[in-house]
Amino acid sequence: LLACWAVLRFLQGGGFWLLGPAIAAFYGATASKGPGFFHAAMMVGVVTLVSLTPEHRRNARRWAPWAGGALVLGIVALWLVGLLPKWWHYAQTNWGEPRFIGHAYTLARVFWEFAWRAVIPLKLCSDHQIAETLVKPGDGWFGIADSGAMWAAAAMLGLTAFSLFLTWRKSTRIFGVCLFLFVATILFRVMYVIPEFMPEYRIYPGMPWFCLGAAVLLAALWNRLPGGGSPRWVAALILLPCIVLSARRSFVWHSLDTLCGDVLRQYPANARAIWELHDRDLHEGNWDSIIKRQQEMWPPVFKTFLETNEKLQPARELPTGHFALADVACKGRYAIALAHVRGPAAGMMEIQRLEMLMRQLRMTEESHRIHWGYFRAAAADVLEQAGAYEKALELLRTEATFGVTPADLERLEKKIAEKNN
């Protein structure tokens, strides 16, 4: 937003010094997150295009040959370093893939289910659990079972087109730009095929544009009302409930127990809440808490996950990969806790049970490297408690074992040396 403001002031004759803050803000957005560069480029580009005056366009024509040459050189450079062929190959291979299609449709649903939370602080959650739209091989873009996702995608594209229409009209241009950039911040994420569709920070880049557009719209409506007067009290009445709701939400973050409890209240099948609590207790050595939680809280979460997925089929499913990873991590921590409280034999029995389950589910090292990484880390911990330092060290040295530090390796090497002496 700061980069857009600086560029706008520069185009209005504010001086070349404004390019400094624009570049700094652009760099800050790029460094903050992977998609930050694309967010900044899209927003600055749109604001620049709609802010060009006839004089700017005449000046641009004089520089058109140089700009065209720079564009050609840029394309050639991207081709020579291999990025352009890589992007082209990515587009060709992924456009018709079931996972890419399902991701795009899920994102369209997510927009309508979550975008309004950018302004109204209701039903917020630190870890949303979102069902993915399923696309079978051969279904293509128009043969899927999730008709709701298709309507959501059509409505999102329609809203994008409407925002461009408003941007084209001079009288509604500012509101159109705000609406377009709000929608586009979610729409362009179609190119990022990731399993986490809606951590709430995904909304943040579009939030200032929504607020600015809402302010422009409300001001225009207020000016049309007879009688005039200041809209301060109306604005306060609109903002006050949001302030109260935000303050109420902040209390959820006072402890990990209340935060994870809120996650499970909204999403009873979200196993990562159990995982987070296990991790906290693992670092603090609260072994009894891990055992009790795994025995009492995990079975209902597991049952709810299976029942929910059965209801969602065949159109959608909860992220099974996330749940399987949480299952492995939680049972690994449970084994470590058992080894501390009931002895290494009890921990090793749980580790063997977990390994058997993973092999029954056909989790191979190639297809589930992260899962096996968590498993090996837990197994190494239990083996270390059992005095099998050599086997524990061997596991920790295996590639992709999760959370291994040089201190872990040094500790085991020292124990092996002491044992041999």
Give the residue ranges of DSSP H helices in 361-388: 369-385
Domain boundary among 217, 246, 275: 246
pLDDT at 282: 92
Quick one: 364 and 310 in the same domain? yes
Mean pLDDT along residues 3-11: 77
Q: What residues are paired with 132 via a beta bridge?
A: 317
Distance separating alpha carbons of residues 198 and 113, to the nearest angstrom: 10
pLDDT at 346: 93
Domain boundary among 225, 246, 267: 246
Distance separating alpha carbons of residues 191 and 401, to the nearest angstrom: 30
Q: What percent of the chain has pLDDT over 90?
A: 27
3-state helix, strand, coil in the chain (%, to 5): 75, 0, 20
Q: pLDDT for 90-129, tens place per residue? A: 766 777 788 888 888 888 888 888 777 777 777 777 788 8
pLDDT at 86: 77
Of the ranges 4-13, 163-172, 235-244, 295-304, which one carries the lowest mean pLDDT score? Answer: 4-13
Q: pLDDT for 16-26, tens place per residue? A: 777 787 788 77
Q: pLDDT for 249-276, tens place per residue? A: 888 888 999 999 999 999 999 999 999 9
Quick one: 285 and 374 in the same domain? yes
Number of structural domains (the chain) is: 4
pLDDT at 238: 83
Residue pair 393/413 in contact by the 8 Å Cβ criterion:
yes
Distance separating alpha carbons of residues 256 and 286, to the nearest angstrom: 14
Quick one: 265 and 414 in the same domain? yes
pLDDT at 196: 60
Q: CA dihedral defined by 11, 12, 18, 22, rounded to 10 degrees?
A: -50
What is the domain range of residue 40? 1-51
Nearest C-alpha neighbor of 202 from the set 125, 255, 275: 125
Q: pLDDT for 34-76, tens place per residue? A: 667 777 777 877 777 777 777 766 776 776 777 778 778 878 8
Quick one: 38 and 75 in the same domain? no
Domain boundary among 246, 278, 311: 246
State the Cα angle at 259 between 253 and 263, rounded to 5°: 140
Instruction: Write the Ramachandran bin of 192: left for phi over 0, alpha for psi from -120 to 50, otherwise beta.
Output: beta
Q: pLDDT for 331-383, tens place per residue? A: 999 999 999 999 999 999 999 999 999 999 888 888 888 899 999 999 999 99
Give the predicted TM-score (pTM) of the model. 0.78
Q: Which two tokens stand for residue 119?
A: 């302004």
- The band of 231, judged by pLDDT with boundaries at 50, 70 and 90, is confident
Mean pLDDT along residues 150-164: 92
The pLDDT mean for the chain works out to 84
Q: Count of CB atoms within 10 A of residue 251's CB?
A: 10
Of the ranges 49-63, 160-174, 306-320, which one carries the lowest mean pLDDT score? Answer: 49-63
Which DSSP string do the residues of 272-302 spell out, in sequence order?
A: HHHHHHHHHHHHHT-HHHHHHHHHHTHHHHH
- First CA to last CA distance, the chain: 65
Residue count (the chain): 421
Give the DSSP H/E element, type plus range, for residue 59: helix 54-80
pLDDT at 55: 74
Quick one: 138 and 175 in the same domain? yes
Scanning the structure block, which residue is given the tokens 């229409």?
Answer: 165
pLDDT at 24: 80
Q: Count of CB atoms within 10 A of residue 80's CB?
A: 10
Quick one: 414 and 267 in the same domain? yes
